[in-house]
Structure 1
Amino acid sequence: MTQSPRQFLQRSAAGKETMKSIKNILLCAALALAFGMPALAAGNGKPQQAAPRESKRSTPDPVAAPRADEKDYKELSGQVVYQVLLAEVALQRGRNEFASQAYADLAVRTRDPGVIERAVEVAGYARRMDVVLDMANLWVQVQPDSKRAQQVMVGVLIMSNQLDGLAPRLIRMLEADPESLPANLLGLNRMFARSPDRRAVLQLISKVCAPFFGLAEAHYAVAVAATSAAESERALAEVRQALELRPDWEAAALLQAQILAPKSSAEAVASLQRFADRNPNAREVQLHLARALVGEKRYAEARRLFEQLLLTYPNNPDVVFPVAILALQENDTVLAEAQLKHLITLDIPNKSAPYYYLGQLAEEGKRSDEALTYYRQVGTGEHYLPAQIRSANLLSKAGQPEAARRQLHEAAELDPKQGVQFLIAEAALLRDAKQTEAALDLLERALSKQPEQPDLLYESALLAEKLGRVELLESRLRKLIELQPENAQAYNALGYSYADRNMRLPEARQLIEKALQLAPNDPFILDSMAWVLYRQGDLEGALSLLQRAHGLRPDPEIAAHLGEVLWMLGRKDEAQRSLREAQQKNPTNEVLTEAVRRFAP
């Protein structure tokens, strides 16, 4: 019996399953998201297999399912079978271009929908977008009522950024599936995620959604497109229309706040508050509102809202964790610790953050062993480095310096990307143990292997300063400035080193002025500039800067400079009071202790 091309493909060893639609990832990712089409194999551009099959070939599988429009190919039978076999063998051998052309020729000659679909698939696999477009056009001509053909055609036009004329096709596709219409409207923007012309996408989505403006989802889709096109007024108008149609729709309320936030964060918060008042069970909006209140530094209101949410959702990590962090911020250690301990009992993918904060609380409570236990449970990631450094410091303070250094070495092996930071932490342990020469030698050895590593240059310069090796300090910082001309801390460190030694004051001032240009509100750079002014005899100017710096950060060394300047201005009682208050908070700081000895005996 004479076989049609489809029958041959069904019976071939490679054709055990139904031929799917175009699966090339460049063509159908958008449609898969928007219209529920089959998933794609991630990243490699190859079709994802729907079920296990006998053949282990990595090439796309051919047609398997019979169609109602079966044709008779008696005259072409031998040639068709030969061409299909040739194309499949070419695919097996990696000759994708040849296979694509063979299937394209066959599709044109047979006009068989199954062969055309296979030709689209193979052309996509070969990344021949011109052939894909030709075959998609042919498929629509042969089967104008085919939903699959229309979907593929739309996908091809979208991925080739040919938006003109798409609106009628998309409208027909949306109308053909009324049950899924709301969801498909929401998926429209995902189809055009890679389109570079956002205004053209907005125009297209506006046309497509116009027939469906009785649905909130249609207005929402236009609002999303308008937001992406930076048309905020249009976006706001559309999302408000969506909320009029669905007053309890949280997604629309969140989008409205997102649109408002760039112009007025307060107005965005107010919009969330109004929605939450009208919809007391809107958890997502309440969560976003609480976070927005934190962003506005309205901590008391945020905490009250989070605590209300906690009563309703006591086991929701998105509620428990913010409550704990806000309690930490407000120094409510009892509530913070209770919620963090509860958090680690919940099913969350990563518990490093709560373990880290529990370690901090235990450390501040002088419960060193407990703190170490918590820190050891912090995994690699954002909190790993500080947890390991804190652990090492605890061990060092407990008289176990070798264990502390071993801890850092083991941590560096586990997280080699942070190796330099662990090395600097080890140098800090040696410095704090009054082994400054050993600390500098440690960094020097590392610099011999990485002579342009910025952090090593900076930290070794600071150690050289402590040892009075000004030439080494200067060479390291100037090297750092050469490598990173926008590094404010490098200019500041060099300028302050001159000012502290009362040398090269004009150059010191220039260096620190440059640092201030780069970081105008850095309290330590403000302190450095104040010290230059003090050395140059401008006591009032120095006092003003020191008061500003101390207000930004009450650091003990800034407090020591402030006390000294107050003393030199004749405000001795104020200087003594300021120094003693600072010393009560920082009893072990050497610079502050020396200032107290000199000016507040």
Structure 2
Amino acid sequence: MKSIKNTLLCTTLALAFGVPALAAGDAPSGKRKSTSHEFKRNAPEAFAPRLDDKDYKELSGQVVYQLLLAEVALQRGKAEFASQAYADLAVRTRDPGILARAIEVAGYARRYDLVLDLARLWLQVEPDSKRAQQVLVGVMILSNQFDGLAPQLIRMLEADKEALPGNLLALNRMFARSQDRQAVLQLIIKICATFLDLPEAHYAIAMAASAAGDNPRALAETRRALDLRPDWEAAALLEAQLLAQKSPAEAIAALQRFVDRHPKAREVQLHLARALVGEKRYGEAKLQFEQLLLTYPNNPDVVFPVAILALQENDRKLAETQFKHLVTLDIPDKSAAYYYLGQLAEEGKRADEALADYRQVGPGEHYLPAQLRSASILGNQGKVEEARRQLREAATKNPQLRVQLSITEATLLRDAKQTEAALALLDQELSTQPEQPELLYESALLAEKLGRVEIMESRLRKLIELQPENAQAYNALGYSYADRNLRLPEARQLVEKALQLSPNDPFILDSMAWVLYRQGDHEGALALLQRALALRPDPEIAAHTGEVLWMLGRKEEAQRTLREAHKRDPANEVLNEAIRKFSP
């Protein structure tokens, strides 16, 4: 037995999936080239006769016939018949070779009851057969028959002292399919009791205890493993994982202690840095990653987090340096790095560089946002047709993104004052998928902008029918009524429903405030607007706030609110209209 990982575990998996260790060409299939060679290999002449068994000599002809019958049945897909025939033959002959073949065929037929009986018989015939032991243990594990399993596994473990540590670590993987985690824990405790001088035995118990929900035992065993092997990173990581379930701070402290004692423990230091990020302790995390970067300057697992943390800390220069370095390294997917480089170039007003980076973003989570950002850059440059062409090419290559890309194309047209064309584009998409929620919503907003209230109303009501919990649909319909000072009681009901579904949405708060304003409740409107503005300093919310303050006679405060918003968003049309309206 070279190792349990490479023999017994593989046997167990083979049995579990019904794929026994048949030799090439053994699987039943109409594609077989020939059976003669195989039959010669498995024929009774290939097995040493049991000369002390008189019945065996008398059965030779019948053995040949039954072997042939079983193999033909196997070729024709009659695995159940073949397994029964081989099992009967194996029991009568007690020949190790036939027993081995019978077990393979029974495994293929998923007759694990036969596999178990045959493996036990094989061990009676050949008590020292490692293969028989492996098969017996494998099928016992597969069928959750743990009684009597510990002695078998202990003998197998002791048979290969050199591979013992690795085999102990593989124990839990052997029982991965078992649902009775407590039974697995008790079994592994029994097995490992013989090997408690090895840290791997304590680690195996810790893993089983963790899987069984016994964290105190798992933690105690992990710490015992660390006592026996103080520099073992795997045990240090397991200890931190167990501690984190109760206290992330304790886990971080344990990792820090280990790193202090073993400064070259890269994996532990990486996990420490990531744990610090998880607790939003970004400064400390950045320090850990920077230390790792000195030792591992070309390790993507270090370079990427350093770049991300630099973004988090608003250190754009460091982030860009590391992302540029990352794309020079040998990594399978550079899309994320190019996406962030595109963002950084865009923020730095380097539009052409940003476009070049976004073009390098391949399929995956960053592909769509890269396409949208590219289109936005081109639109801002006045290259609307080029942007549309890019979006349509992306939609052709990625049909699953067609809706989002079409909506972005419509937005480009709207921003270019081509609202009619934008609505026509979405109408065309709706003609092929009339109940698509995003298309209904976006086209309704465009129809409202064009004054086509009936279209807007019908599409929003259809959306509400399709998605009764869609807060934005209720909000858009209610606000459209309030903005036109129409059907205010119904507008209030709609926005109240939206607010019930999404109570902290600043835009819905703004809509509710606008309904109250139209109904004459200026104080109530102001309270909601101030709450909305605190949640999100949006220019249109600021414009509404300024108007309500003005109507309440608080003109200086109104003008101050509008001026401050204008500094943030000088190009917003709604805000600029309010400034013109309420300036002295």
TM-score range, shorter chain: 0.7 to 0.9
Question: Of residues 373, 377, 380 in structure 1, which corresponds to 2:360?
Answer: 377
1:76-475 superposed matches below 5 A = 76-475=59-458
Distance (whole Å) between structure 1 residues aligned to residue 155 and residue 119 of structure 2? 17
- Between the two proteins, the alignment pairs up a number of residues equal to 573
Distance (whole Å) between structure 2 residues aligned to residue 203 and residue 35 of structure 1? 20
What amino acid sits opposite 2:205 in the alignment?
V
CA RMSD in angstroms, aligned pairs only = 3.4
Distance (whole Å) between structure 1 residues aligned to residue 345 and residue 384 of structure 2? 21
Q: Deviations over 1:98-137 (max 9, x none)?
A: 2222222221121122211211211222223333333233
Distance (whole Å) between structure 1 residues aligned to residue 346 and residue 469 of structure 2? 36
Q: Which deviates further from its counterpart, 40-49 or 558-567?
A: 40-49
Q: Deviations over 1:52-76 (max 9, x none)?
A: 99x9739997867999976355333
Question: Of residues 47, 50, 64 in structure 2, which corresponds to 1:71?
Answer: 50
2:462 maps to which residue? 479
Indicate the SS of the match to 1:331. coil
Q: Deviations over 1:144-196 (max 9, x none)?
A: 33222222122212222333433332233222222222222221221122222
Q: Which runs of 5+ in 1 are unaligned?
A: 1-19, 21-29
1:37-52 superposed matches below 5 A = 37=10, 45-46=18-19
Q: Deviations over 1:423-474 (max 9, x none)?
A: 2222222222222222222222222222222222222222233233334333
8 A Cα contact 1:33 1:190, kept in partner: no
1:57 maps to which residue? 32
What amino acid sits opposite 2:416 in the alignment?
A
Distance (whole Å) between structure 1 residues aligned to residue 181 and residue 513 of structure 2? 51
Q: Deviations over 1:202-228 (max 9, x none)?
A: 333233323333322222222222322
8 A Cα contact 1:32 1:39, kept in partner: no
8 A Cα contact 1:495 1:512, kept in partner: yes
TM-score (norm 1): 0.85
8 A Cα contact 1:34 1:188, kept in partner: no
Distance (whole Å) between structure 2 residues aligned to residue 81 and residue 211 of structure 1? 47
8 A Cα contact 1:34 1:187, kept in partner: no
What amino acid sits opposite 2:412 in the alignment?
L
Indicate the SS of the match to 2:57. coil
> How far apart are residue 577 of structure 1 and its match?
3.4
Decide whether aligned partners of structure 1 residues 570 and 284 sit closer, same or farther in structure 2, where only a CA change above 3 A counts. Answer: farther
What amino acid sits opposite 1:71 in the alignment?
R
Distance (whole Å) between structure 1 residues aligned to residue 389 and residue 508 of structure 2? 35
Indicate the SS of the match to 1:587. coil
1:22-41 superposed matches below 5 A = 35=8, 37=10
Q: Which runs of 5+ in 2 are unaligned?
A: none
> How far apart are residue 392 of structure 1 and its match?
1.8
8 A Cα contact 2:481 2:491, kept in partner: yes
Decide whether aligned partners of structure 1 residues 506 and 267 sit closer, same or farther in structure 2, where only a CA change above 3 A counts. Answer: farther
Distance (whole Å) between structure 2 residues aligned to residue 466 and residue 487 of structure 1? 21
8 A Cα contact 1:564 1:595, kept in partner: yes
> How far apart are residue 532 of structure 1 and its match?
4.2
TM-score (norm 2): 0.87
Q: Once the two structures are aligned, what percentage of the paired residues are identical?
A: 75
> How far apart are residue 34 of structure 1 and its match?
8.0
Decide whether aligned partners of structure 1 residues 592 and 43 sit closer, same or farther in structure 2, where only a CA change above 3 A counts. Answer: farther
Decide whether aligned partners of structure 1 residues 370 and 161 sit closer, same or farther in structure 2, where only a CA change above 3 A counts. Answer: same
